[in-house]
Structure formats: structure tokens, C-alpha cells
Chain A
Amino acid sequence: MPELFMPPDVDAAREYFRAKPRRMESKLSTVAAAVARYLQDGDYIAIGGFGTNRIPTAVLHEIVRQGRKSLGVSGHTATHDFQILAAAGAMDRVDVAYVVGLEARGLSRSARRMFEEGRLRVTEWSNAALAWRYLAAAMGVPFLPARVMLGTDTQVYSAAKEIVCPFTGIKLLAVPALYPDLAVIHVHQADVYGNAQIEGIGVSDFDLARAAKRLIITCERLVPPEEIRRQPTRTAIPYFLVDAVCEVPYGSYPGNMPYEYFSDEVHLGQWLQAEEDSATLAAFLDKYIYGTTGFAEYLELCGGSHRLQQLRRQELLLNANGDTSPDQGGQQR
């Protein structure tokens, strides 16, 4: 039987949220302190954004640096984020919707190895199923009915259950609420209390922020609370959902951050290449993660402000040669 890693205990969740501190006070933290405080070995985590877009890379690196083990992971289009955790062998179970691949870029060897060597407990889902599992948790109900996965092996290897609609009599799939122990979401701007604003697509982060028991926000820019109150329409995540706020400029690198910088396809290609064998991977992780003190040092190793300026121009379609596409071969370095 496929495993349901996180049972939808809505009343336990209510008790948890009842006790969660709700004072409007500064939650400003370093990334290292936030990971040390809010993530234990064995916890179940979910990452915001979309794999190589608006991802909290600094926190993922820190999880690796601090050597967290036996994590459960929600694989709701987890691509580079999943690759980082897989490279360090930081997980032992995963709810899969989309993992291993980095979309058109190829497959992560580290991630493949974990599955193919049988080192993971695996339950299958779809992206909508995981998105709606977050939504069910955000609503405080134990499941939502859906019309996906029915009739397929994806359903057979999931932990969803078929039900019959009490109104129409049609067959539905009940997808259980998913309350991750920790979610980590990278946003454009936040204040010290945790009020957070996102530009561009929200992916599933609106619901994920409400589903998670603990929530670490990393932000491109820390802004004064007055800036939040000036445009409350833009607030996706109110402060009382948030446990820690970390200011991490360029925090989605090497991923894309809408209106800020494009993904670094050259560096993402280096990741895939480094994973070809375990010796090159170990050296790569030593250089970029274990051997660095933090994210700022990583950015420097990857080309620093010069490279980030190129990626900003790419995002804003300002490349001198009129090329509006991502550089895929490093020709602009």
C-alpha cells in the first residue's frame, strides 16, 4: 500500500495553529539560524515557487550545510530545489508530482540514483493533487474531492481514496489535506514581521503558506512595514503565518526571479554535469555549498555582480544584441 506520509489530522492542526505565536514582532533571522531553529531531522518540508523559479536557494543550501537527514519532501514541481536535497542525500521519503527532471534541461543524476537504488519511500500524485492538498489544509478540511488521477497507475500508487459524491452520485478522488512541518518560500519583499508580497505567478504558494505549520520567508528586499500597508492588495502572506524572515538578495539564483533576474542556465548546466559521477559531485558540493559560509559567497563564486547584471538584463529583455532568450551555452560570459 502506498504510504500517506502526512495524515490529514485537522483537529491536531487546529491545536497547533491555536498555539502558534501571533504577536506582530520582528522575526528577522539569518538563514543559518532559521534552519537551525525550524527544521529538524525527519521533518517534512515543502518548497515554494516552481523548481527553478522563485525558489529559496539559500535555505536549501543551508539545509545541506547543516547536514539535515531523513527529510520528507513534497515534490510539487521540485526541480533544482529537489536536486540540491538529493545531491546531499537529505531525504528518505517523497510525495512525487514532478521531481528528478529539470524540465527541458535534462534529468538530475543524484535524484535518479536515490529512486533507482531504492533509497526513497515514494508515493505518487499529480501537480493539481498536491496543490489541492495544500488548499484543503489551508481551508482546514481533511480532503478535497477532485476529478484527476482516476483510472491510472498514478492513482494506484497514490494514497488518495475514491468517494462517491453525495449530491450527484459521480465518482471522485479524495485528496487528503497536507500540512507540511515546514514550508520555505522566496518572495520579492517582506517586512520584519513577515508580511510578504509576491510579483508574478503565485504558483501554489498562497495555499502552501497557509498549510504549513512553520514558515520561513526569504525575500529579495526587506521593506518598512509602511511599504506593506501602502499596498495591502499585494500581500500574499500575512505576518502571523510566518516564523522567520531572512533577507537574501538574489535569493532565487540560479533560478529565475520575475522582474528581477533570469535563471542562470550556464550554472544549472554545471550542476547537471557535476552529477555525472560521485567524485565530481562531491567536489562540486564542497566548492559551492560545504566550503562556503553562506549564500553571498556562493553568488561570488558564480560570477558575482557581473553575472547577476547579465541575468537582470536578460530578465528585462535588455541584451545588447537584441537576443531576448536565455543564454544556454554560456556565449555571453
Chain B
Amino acid sequence: MSGATHDHNPMELMISVAARYLEDGATVVVGTGAPCAAAMLAQKLYSPSLMIMFEAGGIGPLLPSMPISVGDSRTFYRGVAASSMPEIMGLCQRGIVDYCFLGGAQMDQYGNLNSTVIGSHARPKVRLPGSGGANDLASLAWRTMVITPQDRRRFVPKVDFVTSPGYLTGKGAREAAGLPPGTGPYKVITNLAVIGFDAASCRMVVESLHPGVDRDTVAASTGFSLLWSDELTQTEPPTADELQILRQEVDPLRYIIGRG
């Protein structure tokens, strides 16, 4: 990766950073939007045999464009299989899925995600879609990745509803609840930083700051206290190659990267 800087927007940076985590030969279940763009970018640039799957049944498509639904026909276009929901969920449950990408309206320091309600469950202020496949993927995939904007509305001390499990209440809580050992949140990639999870406490730990972002900005954009890595680095900005593939092949119509 060259260290040269190129003009880019935060979405392009988040997608590029996420793509670097998806190694060749890995399996990943994605949704639409930024995660799908990251997987496509990884496949074109770093990991040609990255296996992309969608929860509704698409396996290994040669994506001609961004899907608009995780069950639309693009998700199995020239794929290796057009399977089913129970097939994909079974793959997750028996340990074949390495990565999944999730999002949510709220997230806490343990990576627990809320996509169900803002407010009370009985009379929500905002009713959101619910788990969909998110709880399943967060429970069963080896590593959960999140791409999200970072602000105090999203990064909260306590989520209104734990839709999908992060590390729940901390170290050992997932295993105690009955979730498969060795699973859980891996990286949270925001518009400000790359955040991992501390092995001892399972709390969020900032690993790198994006170019031009300082610690105070990250702290001020987070509703709980963050841990800081002893080896805090600066995030490698998108390379010329990443930007070119992203703009010309992955998302030429700027559906995702146009959201800046």
C-alpha cells in the first residue's frame, strides 16, 4: 500500500479499510450497501477467491452491480449456487462463515447492536425492522464487522434493545448465554477510526485514527469511554488502486460512495 494521499470521502475510506480485512479464501455474508461494496472491492483487488454470500440464499455471485435487496437476482447472478435461507443459516451455524457485516441504530461498548426499537418495545418512539438475519449472523459467524458513522446518537452507553449480540455484558457472557465459543465482534470501522475489542474486558479499543482525526474528536463522538490501543496508529488512507476499482468497477453509479 502506498502512503500517498488521494482525495476521498469518508465512505470510500470505510469501504477500503473494510476490504483489507477480508483475506483470500475467506467466506463472508454481506448485506447491501457499504459491506457489499467492501466485499466486491476485496474480491477485485486482494482476495479473488473471497466467497460472498447473502442470507436469502445467494452464494458466490459475480456481482454485475450493487444489489438493492439481499434477495434480489443480482445476489446469485452467475453464482456458484442459488440456495436458500436455511442453507445459509446452516452454513453459519456449523462454522463455515468467517465474516459477517452488520449495522444498527445504536451500539454499546461491547458491540451489542439495536435494530429493533428506539424507546420501549410496547410503544416504541421509532419501530425499526428488527433482527432480520442480523442476530443469526452476530451469533454464529466467527467474526462480526460493523461499518457505521460514529456519533453520540449511535454509540450509546446502553442500547434501547439488544437485537444482535456483541459481547453482551463482557468477558465470557456470550459463552454463558450459550453462543458458540470463539465468535463475536471483530472490528468496527467508522468515519473516524478503526475500533477493535480488548481481549480482557471485551470493550471497544481504538486501534487507528483516520487521517486528520484526533483522539478528542473520537471521544466526543462516543457516548461511553473508549479504551486506546498502546499501538495506536493512523489509518492507511485509500490507495489509488482502491479508489480506482471502487469508483470504476464496484460502484460506478455512486449509489454507496455518493453518500459520502
Please list the residues of chain A having a beta carbon within 8 angstroms of any beta carbon in chain B: 49-53, 75-77, 79, 96-101, 103-105, 107, 111-112, 115-116, 118, 122, 124-129, 131-132, 135, 146-154, 157, 162, 170-173, 199-207, 256, 258-259, 262-263, 265, 315, 317, 323-326, 328
The 8 A CB mask of B66-84 against A (1 = contact, 0 = none) is 1011111101100000111
Contact B84 A200 (CB under 8 A): no
Contact of B64 with A53 in the complex, beta carbons under 8 Å: no
Q: A124-B116, A325-B65 are in contact. Are A152 and B72 (CB under 8 A)?
A: no
Whether B173 and A151, one on each chain, are in contact in the complex, defined by CB atoms closer than 8 angstroms, is yes
Interface contact B165-A150, CB-CB below 8 Å: yes
For residue B116, which residues in chain A have a CB less than 8 angstroms away from its CB?
124, 153-154
Bound state CA distance, A76 and B84, in angstroms? 13
- Tell me how far the C-beta of A170 lies from the nearest C-beta in chain B, rounded to whole angstroms: 7
Q: A residues within 8 A CB of B232?
A: none
Q: Is the CB of A77 within 8 A of B132?
A: yes
**Segment with Cβ contacts to A, from B39-47, B121-129, B235-243:** B121-129
Q: How far is the CB of B78 from chain A (nearest CB, A)?
A: 10
> Which one of A111, A124, A131 contacts B85 once the chains associate, using CB atoms below 8 Å?
A131
Main secondary structure of the interface of A (DSSP, over half): loop
Complex Cα gap A173–B122 (Å): 24
Q: Judging by beta carbons under 8 Å apart, are A148 and B135 in contact? A: yes
Number of interface residues of B (CB under 8 A): 61
In-complex Cβ contact of B136 among A79, A127, A202, A265 (8 A): A127
For chain B, what secondary structure do more than half of its interface residues adopt (helix, strand, loop), or is it mixed? loop
- When C-beta atoms are compared, the residue in chain B nearest to A256 turns out to be B72
Decide: B139 and A147 in contact? CB cutoff 8 A: yes
Closest partner residue, chain A, to B168 (CB atom)? A151
Q: Give min CB distance, A42 to chain B, whole Å.
A: 23
Tell me the complex Cα distance, A172–B178, Å. Answer: 6
Complex formed: what's the CA distance from A53 to B130 in Å? 19
A96 to B136, CA, bound (A): 14
Residues of B within 8 A of A207 (CB): 86
User: Which of A100, A153, A199 has its CB near the most chain B CB atoms (within 10 A)?
Assistant: A153
A-B contacts, 10 listed (Cβ < 8 Å): A53-B72, A124-B131, A127-B85, A127-B131, A131-B89, A147-B179, A200-B82, A201-B84, A204-B85, A256-B72
Does the CB pair B126–A128 fall under 8 Å? no
**Chain B contacts for A128, CB-based, 8 A:** 85-86, 89, 92-93, 133, 135-136
Given A118-B123, A207-B86, A152 contacting B75 (CB threshold 8 A): no
- Given contact pairs A50-B56, A111-B127, a sample of 13 additional A-B residue pairs in the complex whose CB atoms are under 8 Å apart: A107-B128, A116-B123, A128-B135, A132-B86, A135-B86, A147-B139, A148-B139, A150-B179, A153-B161, A173-B178, A201-B76, A205-B84, A263-B72
**A103–B132 CA distance with the chains assembled, in angstroms:** 10
Q: Are B139 and A127 in contact (CB under 8 A)?
A: no
| Known A115-B124, A200-B76, A203-B85; contact A53-B164, beta-carbon cutoff 8 A | no
Q: Is the CB of A126 within 8 A of B162?
A: no
Contacts of A256 in B (CB 8 A): 69, 72-73
Bound CA span A297–B123, Å = 39
A112→B130 CA distance, assembly (Å): 12
Cβ B178 vs Cβ A150 within 8 A: yes
Of the residues B56, B66, B124, B178, contact of A171 by C-beta under 8 Å: B178
> Is there an interface contact between A150 and B73, defined as CB atoms closer than 8 Å?
no
B-chain residues with CB within 8 Å of residue A51 when the two chains form the complex: 69, 71
Q: A53–B71 contact, CB under 8 A?
A: yes
Among A77, A148, A157, chain B packs the most CB atoms within 10 A around the CB of: A148
| Cβ-closest chain A residue relative to B112 | A152
What 1/0 mask marks residues of chain B from 134 to 170 whose CB sits below 8 Å from any chain A CB?
Answer: 1110011000000000000000000001111100100
- Once A50-B69, A201-B58, A325-B253 are accepted as A-B contacts, the answer to whether A100 and B128 lie under 8 Å apart by CB is yes
Closest partner residue, chain B, to A265 (CB atom) = B68
- Which interface residue of B123, B129, B133, B165 has the most chain A CB atoms within 10 A? B129
Contacts of A129 in B (CB 8 A): 136
- Are B66 and A325 interface neighbours, CB within 8 A? yes
Find the residue from B72, B176, B255 having the highest chain A CB count within 10 A: B72
In the complex, are the beta carbons of B135 and A112 less than 8 A apart?
no
Return B21 CB to nearest CB of chain A, in Å. Answer: 23
B93 and chain A: residue at smallest CB distance: A147
Give which listed residue, A77, A202, A317, contacts B83 with CB less than 8 A: A202
| Docked complex Cα distance between A315 and B64 (Å) | 11
Q: Are B136 and A151 in contact (CB under 8 A)?
A: no
Mark interface residues in B112-124 (1 if CB within 8 Å of A CB, else 0): 1000100001111
> Considering the complex, which residues of chain B in the window 1-52 have a beta carbon less than 8 Å from any beta carbon of chain A?
31-33
B196 at the interface (CB under 8 A from A): no
A321-B69 Cα distance, complex, nearest whole Å: 23
